[in-house]
Amino acid sequence: MTRDINIKIDKLKDMAIGRCRERIELAASKAKELMNNPLPEGKDERRRYNNQPSGMTSFLKRRHGL
């Protein structure tokens, strides 16, 4: 009985980890696209945020207006 429960728990862990990996890969590809695409006309983000942090989270927050 205990062995069956452990097998089921392991399967659930593997499924959850697989879904997380898929979401992380999707988010990484979207972030790469955002970084490689030019900004819309009239927006020069580099001037406005010259002194701001330049990490990925900061970049995405600025890009989406957060």
Read off the pLDDT band of 8 (50, 70, 90): very high
Residues in the chain: 66
**How do residues 31-64 score in pLDDT, each as one tens digit?**
888 888 776 665 555 555 556 666 778 777 777 7
- Output the pTM of the full model: 0.49
Greater confidence, 12 or 61? 12
45, 39 in Cβ contact below 8 A?
A: yes
For position 25, what pLDDT does the model report? 92
For position 1, what pLDDT does the model report? 75
Closest CA to 58 of 45, 40, 44, 41: 45
DSSP string over 36-62:
HSPPPTT--HHHHTTTS--SHHHHHHH
Cα distances from 64 to residues 2, 49, 58, in angstroms, run: 48, 14, 10
For position 2, what pLDDT does the model report? 82
